[in-house]
Chains A and B, each alone.
Chain A
């Protein structure tokens, strides 16, 4: 019976190759997502327009403004009056306004001498985009603190991602998402299609165990995913210039494990869904949403409410993305993320076990 396994794989590959549109989609979506997240969507602060309110243009104020205008992230838009603050922010002429009190210099000197509290600088920031606003505030504080040179100051060093490039952050996230999309969604849809079209009935009334057919189905999708994986790694390295200092081999091996997990998830979905539409919806809603929200892809897990932090533990992508980040950006070797590997392996075995048990060789 060995030779017929080959013909099952061949048949499955033919299905995929003949569905050119889907094939193209699978190959292009990763490239699209990588470019989109890598370049277009970013929380980096760039070209923030800053206006300054100061009743007296003292030396201290000058010093601060000088530092602002020399900083590549900010563009100094000039001095405005107290009344212009609101219209300025509303019209978008400025993204942030810095307000110096009239006694700024005097207070700063007294503070230096230890006879008064530190001078207060007010920052008014357009927070309609929370992410940018947050980073902008932090940057502004750093820059302005530097201006008050009399004061003791924080010295912050950004490790691993000194330029705070958001691409570094997104690449592992995209990988966590894409493999679920390609493997889980496509395998589940292709299995459910057999149920929907009716070919499953004929397959079942044959001496071949359905499990064998299912595994034959997974092989071509696994192969496609490997191509996608290589594409992503190449794009990450040469287009987005992610360092991958932990070694590509480790990332690749971990990703293979994640691929196996995604395939098992697809199998699980196929045991639940009876129509291709349902399989798509389950894959998209039940699997993608947790990845986007609870895996640390978009929001740090530490920032989630406690309940969701607990829930995030069962989202496989969380462990994968975390491990890939460590290897890609922090440059840790595979051994360092052994805990993540064990968890992912455990999940794969569990999901595969459940789906094989649920996968009936009868119609009901």
Chain B
């Protein structure tokens, strides 16, 4: 049995369908990523799986336990780090950790070996109030607290949002380490570049899952030629490119535009057609997860 099993799960808030028939499975010891923009339904999915809310339709199991029937047992086994900072800002680092240990009926010492690699980095500040920590340190404390009872499944809802690039990278190193210890991790992120640190990812948008695969598999699924184009007037370029023959899609991508070509596309002909647009450059590009995401979203 998988660590997390989700069968056509749906949840609505009023008229808004936050989650619309989502199904997937996460294997034991897997680092599984939910990738998608705000409003994709990631937080709703986390709340369902951590038994905070009940689904309208569908079912799911966590560690073999049903999220509706066995919710009390699930709560003993999972660690949860919500999207926003949810520790006590007026308590010190140490007091927060001790409180969460007490909450799960364990002591900090019992789990020290598990949290040590993370907690050691903030231990020098253990008497500091949690509210006065930097973003990266807050996140390390929150992760320590979520791990204090040695959960078998860890739910991390956008743990790297609002954290600097270095801390973000460090954080993913820590997750890789925890995965080595056999903990199943479900993590969500709006950052496409973080997706490749996962074993498998699910691309989500507007309450649906658009595709599930390994990061390489996802990229390989992009079967059309892709180009990166630029010009002096990027907006005019976008407008014009979209009307050209053989252009399936064209969208802003960082400083450049990405152009998805169909069978009849020719680079030289494209350049010639856009001769009146100043400084047009076109080079072949490697597809990324984001390109695949956009492709799936447009379908």
Contact = CB atoms under 8 A, between A and B. Distances in A.
27 contacts: A7-B98, A7-B99, A11-B88, A14-B90, A15-B90, A15-B91, A19-B90, A197-B88, A198-B85, A199-B86, A199-B87, A201-B47, A201-B80, A202-B82, A202-B86, A202-B100, A202-B145, A203-B103, A205-B50, A205-B51, A205-B78, A206-B104, A207-B104, A208-B103, A208-B105, A362-B53, A364-B54
B86 A11 contact: no
B89 to A, nearest CB: 8
Given A14-B91, A19-B90, A202-B100, 5 more contacts: A8-B102, A11-B95, A15-B88, A362-B52, A363-B47
Nearest to A7: B102
A11 B85 CA distance: 18
10 A-B pairs with the lowest CB-CB distances in the bound complex, closest first: A198-B86, A7-B102, A4-B102, A205-B80, A363-B52, A207-B76, A18-B90, A206-B103, A205-B50, A11-B99
Interface of B: 47, 50-54, 71-72, 75-76, 78, 80, 82, 84-91, 95, 98-100, 102-105, 145
Contacts of B53: 362-364
Interface of A: 1, 3-4, 7-8, 11, 14-15, 18-19, 197-199, 201-208, 362-364
A68 B54 CA distance: 78
Contacts of A15: 88, 90-91
- For A3, A202, A208, the residue with the greatest tally of chain B CB atoms inside 10 Å of its CB is A202
A15 B88 CA distance: 9
B75 A4 contact: no
Given A11-B88, A11-B91, A362 B51 contact: yes
A204 B50 CA distance: 9
Nearest to B106: A4
A197 B86 contact: yes
Nearest to A199: B86
Contact of A362 (B54, B78, B86, B88): B54
B80 A202 contact: yes
Nearest to B52: A363
B82 A198 contact: yes
Contacts of B47: 201, 363
Given A14-B90, A14-B91, A18-B90, A205 B105 contact: no
Contacts of A197: 86, 88-89
Contacts of B145: 202
A204 B86 contact: no
**Interface-central residue, B54, B82, B103, by most chain A CB under 10 Å:** B103
Nearest to A4: B102
Interface centre among B75, B88, B90, B104 (most CB of A within 10 A): B88
Contacts of B80: 201-202, 205
B84 A3 contact: no
Given A4-B103, A4-B105, A206-B104, A201 B95 contact: no
Given A7-B99, A208-B103, A201 B90 contact: no
Contacts of A11: 88, 91, 95, 99
Contacts of B102: 3-4, 7-8
A197 B202 CA distance: 29
B95 A14 contact: yes
A208 B99 CA distance: 12
Nearest to B73: A207
A275 to B, nearest CB: 15
Contacts of A198: 82, 84-86
A202 B82 CA distance: 7
A207 B102 CA distance: 11
Contacts of A202: 80, 82, 86-87, 100, 145
Given A197-B86, A198-B84, A1 B105 contact: yes
A311 B50 CA distance: 44
B135 to A, nearest CB: 16
B52 A207 contact: no
A242 B80 CA distance: 56
A204 B103 contact: no
Contacts of B86: 197-199, 201-202
A15 B92 CA distance: 11
Contacts of A206: 75, 103-104
A207 B51 contact: no
B100 to A, nearest CB: 8
Nearest to B85: A198
Nearest to A363: B52
A1 B72 CA distance: 16
A201 B88 contact: no
Contacts of B104: 206-208
Contacts of A362: 51-54, 71
A11 B104 CA distance: 15
B47 to A, nearest CB: 6
Contacts of B54: 362, 364
A145 B253 CA distance: 98
